[in-house]
Structure 1
Amino acid sequence: MATCQPAPTCAPVATCQPAPTSQAVCPQPCPIPAQFGCGPLPKITNLVCATDFDKAYIPAMYQHNMDIIAVASVGAEMAPSDDITDLAIKIRNERIQQNQKLALFARQAGYGALPVDYNEVAMYRNQLMGVAGMDFSARWATLMVGLLQQSQQSAQLAATRATLPQLRDQGNINARACANEIDALQRWLARNGLPVSATAVPGVCPPGAIAAPYGTGPSAPICQPTCQPTCQPAAQPTCPPGSQPAYPPAPVY
């Protein structure tokens, strides 16, 4: 007669543990040196904070040079005095040469073609419309001082932070050229009894930053980075292959 064996005990299946919740991480605000304003260089915050400085600097300075070239071209065409016309041509030609080198550096580094925001270029040209004679020269000179001061500040950053030796060299050369041109413009303004301070150019903050209600120099306000964290939804519980959410053990028969 057959002997009955007890039925096997059913072991509980593996219990599924929920995955940890992903927390949003907000980067620390980037410290902005007091002398830097947003000014005509929209990516000044990126230049100060960038871990890949060259990649941030090259397109930012390329755009800034395009703005200077546009303003210098208007000065060369409309200024009534030879000293302003000659200086405008000098500034324009220098920035054209700088941009040719920046485009070369970008290709060598694999950054691709450098974009230009022509709306920004037009914004600076438009600031010089509707005036003539000495009024034009005064407005042009004060606007150009502001542009050159931003260029000088950025070039000084490149001289110390750029990875490419050619970019550091260009930064040193550009900083000295800007200093000489600013001095020449301020002396011209002083000779004509005009204020030597720069025109406050529009502050443009990069994405992720807001303009604080204070600032220094010709291009206040200062850009203060802000963090708007985007929290990722918590991961859904998942079970490994061969397991499922646990149930009470099966009965023993």
Structure 2
Amino acid sequence: MTLYAFKNGDPIEERLMNSIFTAQSSTLIFDGDQAAVKTGSGAVENNLSLASYAVRFVLTGQTSIGRIELDLKKYGAGADMTVEIRDASFNPNGSSEGVLLKSVTFPAKIFGSGYISLPIDLSGLTAGAQYWLVMKKAGDSINHIRWVGETTQDVSYPAYSRSGVTGGWSIGNALHVKVFAKTPGTYLLKHGIYGENGKTIIEYRADGLVNYIWRWLPAADKTWKIVEKMTPVYDINGVATDWGIA
């Protein structure tokens, strides 16, 4: 059963309480094997409050997407961002939105500046096939996210933008994106997914210790009730003695 956070006024009834007592489904996402990558030295900021952006990639040698890494920059309080994965039938001329394979919304608080790893958890894909990663327009002139990219286009990773919700997309310059399969990789744990909606991000320090953990869980009405950052305090032996929550 899908897990949600409680809000004032939510009924306490048998179905809801039993879902809490029943063991929730869970998935662990490790660093995984790289299946697509477009990076570079460019620092062009593409404002996601003005348009949605889409980039095409080929899923090389893998049949799943465990997580993605995007080069983002946060302004103000940021904005809740929705990431979509669509199949190759997506057409930037506006004739087809493609088949929506996965849609995940992430809370504004977790974003900062630089690359961020985001859990996707999508299996049953085709190795060597083309897919589209879409970030939906969100935010305003003060509070928003920008997707960092290059000053030139890349035919292997074509990128497009659209200010409206329908119609054609405009070709643009390449965007920084990395795609990783849902495979063990080096067995570095990056994300946990609990009851479908409960998610975590684990970031590490250069010495291999955990730097911080983000965890979040929406309510049934999709508002964010739990969005917490846990930062460990270590003793001289590298043992976490406290986990501060903010």
Range into which the TM-score falls when normalised by the shorter chain? under 0.3
Quick check: which one's strand share is greater?
2
Specify the structure having the higher radius of gyration (Cα).
Answer: 1
Quick check: which one's helix share is greater?
1
What TM-score does the superposition give when structure 2 sets the normalisation length?
Answer: 0.21
What TM-score does the superposition give when structure 1 sets the normalisation length?
Answer: 0.20
Structure number with greater CO (CA < 8 Å, separation at least 6) is: 1
